[in-house]
Structure 1
């Protein structure tokens, strides 16, 4: 991979990783509601799941998903329903206390699985597979395995950094959110962002 390609990859990864999406929204919401330590599992799950998906796309899974309409619809439907469910749970969470039955919980493996029904993640993985893994300067790449390893390493770092950054912001808001009805408003705002993402996924 040439230095020019690598710099373009870094710019693309920055733009895609740090713009708001379901992962960063959940990272901020989980850290705000549960604390940073409880959100670490999800923060690590995002780059883990995304790297697995990127490897799968580099090995041809992306082409299969694009070629089979039923698979595309399955990914879309499950992804939309997952976000709607999480938005509903988040909107109903009213307390920072452990006893709140409405608290949104996302395990490590749920976070990994979420990447495979995240339309934004699929679009990013497919774009990178086509633009940086299988081709170079518009020509078929001679070393796709090496290029796939570079892309995965870059995105693993960026996915971890972006979600950790959003989670840190969420955790810093915990004290402020504990006063009055601020947490309810915050959770409903985060839920609205998840629903907006679900709506975008439904029409994408």
Structure 2
């Protein structure tokens, strides 16, 4: 891999990893409600899920997602539905208690699964495979070079957002009235995070339908 190719990969990884999305929104929300330590489970699940998805795309499985509208539609509907479900659970949480823990109990396996339910993640993985790996005589070497970069960015970006969320945690518990934390700020914060998830789901649905339409048009041409 040339220096120019590697630099382009770093730019793409930075732009796609550190911009707000479903993963970074959840990392922030979980850490703000439950603390950084509890958020590390989800933060660690993101690169694992993304790495598995990228490996599948490099192995050719991702092409099936593009070729089969029913499969692509299933992934899209599943991803949108899961994000809306998480938004609903998050919107009513206003205390740093076990109630919040139950509402934001995203397991490691659920965090991994979320990566596979994001149709745009499939498209991004396929784009990276096409641009940096596939069709090259040193494809295996390139895969080994690209994968750690993507995993590192996936982990560091979500860890950064989770750290910000954890730093806001005690402030969000207020304001304090008669010595009791009301959790009003946390309720507002959680509803904003829920709104971000809803908007992300809407964006996924709109762009996913656009991808489906483009694929159908291409097939009919």
- In structure 1, stretches of 5+ residues that fail to align are 135-139
User: In 1, Cα distance between the equivalents of 2:111 and 2:154?
Assistant: 13
Q: CA deviation at 1:102?
A: 6.0
CA pair 75-122 structure 1, distance change in 2 beyond 3 A: same
The partner residue of 2:155 within 143, 155, 160 is 160
Instruction: Look up the match of 2:98.
Output: 98
SS in 2 for 1:152: helix
Partner of 2:192: 189
Q: Aligned-pair RMSD on alpha carbons?
A: 1.1
SS of the residue 2:105 aligns to: coil
Per the alignment, residue 85 of structure 1 pairs with 85
Distance between the aligned counterparts of 2:87 and 2:144, measured in 1?
Answer: 34
1:27 and 1:42 in contact (8 A); partners too: yes
How many pairs align?
Answer: 199
Instruction: Tell me how far apart the structure 2 counterparts of residues 151 and 117 of structure 1 sit (CA, whole Å).
Output: 22
Counterpart of 2:219 in structure 1 is none
Q: Displacement of 1:100 after TM fit?
A: 4.4
SS of match in other structure, 1:141? coil
Unaligned runs of 5+ in 2: 176-183, 208-221
Structure with higher Rg: it is 2
- C-alpha separation between the residues in 2 aligned to 1:99 and 1:43? 21
Using the alignment, how far apart are the partners of 1:88 and 1:99 within structure 2?
Answer: 14
CA distance 1:101–1:11, shift in 2 (3 Å)? closer
Q: Matches of 1:169 and 1:175 in 2, distance apart?
A: 12
Normalising by the residue count of structure 1, what TM-score does the alignment of the two structures yield?
0.95
1:105 counterpart SS class: coil
CA contact (8 A) 2:72 2:119 kept: no
- How far apart are 1:101 and its partner, in Å? 7.5
Structure 1 runs (4+) deviating above 6 angstroms are none
8 Å contact from structure 2 (residues 33, 100) kept in 1: no
2:171 is aligned to 176
Residue equivalent to 1:137: none
Secondary structure at 2:94's aligned position in 1? coil
- SS state of the match for residue 176, structure 1? helix
Render the CA deviation track for 1:142-176: whole Å, top value 9, x for unaligned: 11111112111100000000000000000000011
Moved more, 142-151 or 17-26: 142-151
Between the aligned partners of 2:198 and 2:16, the Cα distance in structure 1 is 19
- TM-score w.r.t. the length of structure 2 is 0.87
In structure 1, C-alpha distance between the alignment counterparts of 2:99 and 2:111, rounded to whole Å: 23
